[in-house]
Amino acid sequence: MTPSAASKPDTTTVEVTVIGAGNMGGPVAKAFLASGLPGDALTIVNSSQESSERAAKELGGRAGERDQAVSGADVVVLGVKPYQIVDLAGEIAEQLKDKAIVISLAAGITLEAIEKALPDGQAVVRAMPNTPISVGEGAVGLMRGSAVSDEQYELVHALFAEAGVVEDITEQQVHAFIGAAGSLSAFTFSLIEAMTDEAVRLGLKRDLADRLVQHTVRGAATMLMQTGQHAAVAKNGVSSPGGTTVEGLAVMERLGVRPGIASAMQASAERSRELTGD
């Protein structure tokens, strides 16, 4: 259930605690701040006080002690490793407010497993974000727990509103989502790295190669989003008969680039299923 503009919850009055503001928790914190969450309402709890203070300074929040930070929070984000999630949920269970929302960022740990570690009726949401949400150009898949009210779910949507695209998915769909969005940013980074390195090998200076490749990739995606054009149509539009582009595309097909990407996405989805036990 996505909130309408008229009913969008006020994110400026919410207290949020992020436990584990690392590679995934950090971008989530940035997305929340972009949605209107005040910096003094964002508490960071990492594995050490030094780490908490460093992350808080970088993100624009404040560092805190776990028990106190949890007991004062309306939303608690669990950004630790998947194998730590259930134990952490059990450890903070007594400190949580009755109406607090717990958001897990962990792959492979189901809503049911987290809910069992918490008091009956505690609201739990799973979020599968990718790192580009830190610049407002990512994707988030949200899975709603059994005790989450409409009002609570609208608040979660509002907190992620500036992350990019935010979609409601089921836990059965999460494996495909990880292949299509969660892990896909890493695959894209790898492709960009390869294209940049080749541009340097062909004779361009690295800073120029960086700019050309990154802007072209961003521009291609933006063009598709703004025009609604199918990727195949856009590809054909720059493929002149006997030209440079079709020659390069033919090599990509012969080397299996397309099935290679598909296989990488499938492997991520299958690993997600293994972690969940599906």
- Is 225 a known ligand-binding residue? no
- Is 20 a known ligand-binding residue? yes
The CATH number assigned to the domain holding 84 equals: 3.40.50.720
The CATH number assigned to the domain holding 240 equals: 1.10.3730.10
- Is 31 a known ligand-binding residue? no
Instruction: Please say which residue of 147, 169, 191 terminates a domain.
Output: 169
**pTM exceeds cut of 0.75:** yes
Are 89 and 124 members of one domain?
yes
Are 161 and 28 members of one domain?
yes
Query: Does residue 5 sit within a domain?
Result: no
Tokens of 143: 């899975």
DSSP 4-17: PTTT---GGG--EE
Q: Of 172, 186, 201, which Cα lies nearest the Cα of 138?
A: 186
* pLDDT at 5 (0 to 100): 47
Domain count, the chain: 2
Query: Does residue 88 sit within a domain?
Result: yes
Asked whether the CA dihedral 173, 219, 225, 163 is positive or negative, the reply is positive
- Is 22 a known ligand-binding residue? yes
Are 76 and 42 members of one domain?
yes
- Is 24 a known ligand-binding residue? yes
Q: Of 69, 66, 65, 49, which Cα lies nearest the Cα of 57?
A: 49
Are 246 and 164 members of one domain?
no
Structural domain span for residue 162: 16-169
Are 150 and 262 members of one domain?
no
Are 188 and 106 members of one domain?
no
Are 21 and 124 members of one domain?
yes
Are 37 and 124 members of one domain?
yes
Asked whether the CA dihedral 78, 84, 85, 90 is positive or negative, the reply is negative
Instruction: Please say which residue of 134, 169, 204 terminates a domain.
Output: 169
Distance CA 229, CA 63 (A): 46
Are 107 and 199 members of one domain?
no
- Is 21 a known ligand-binding residue? yes
pLDDT in tens, the chain (278 residues): 555 445 689 999 999 999 999 999 999 999 999 999 999 999 999 999 999 999 999 999 999 999 999 999 999 999 999 999 999 999 999 999 999 999 999 999 999 999 999 999 999 999 999 999 999 999 999 999 999 999 999 999 999 999 999 999 999 999 999 999 999 999 999 999 999 999 999 999 999 999 999 999 999 999 999 999 999 999 999 999 999 999 999 999 999 999 999 999 999 999 999 988 87
Exposed/middle/buried for residue 55 (C-beta within 10 Å: 0-12, 13-18, 19+) = buried
Are 31 and 165 members of one domain?
yes
Distance CA 132, CA 14 (A): 24
Distance CA 21, CA 32 (A): 12
Query: Does residue 3 sit within a domain?
Result: no
Are 152 and 270 members of one domain?
no
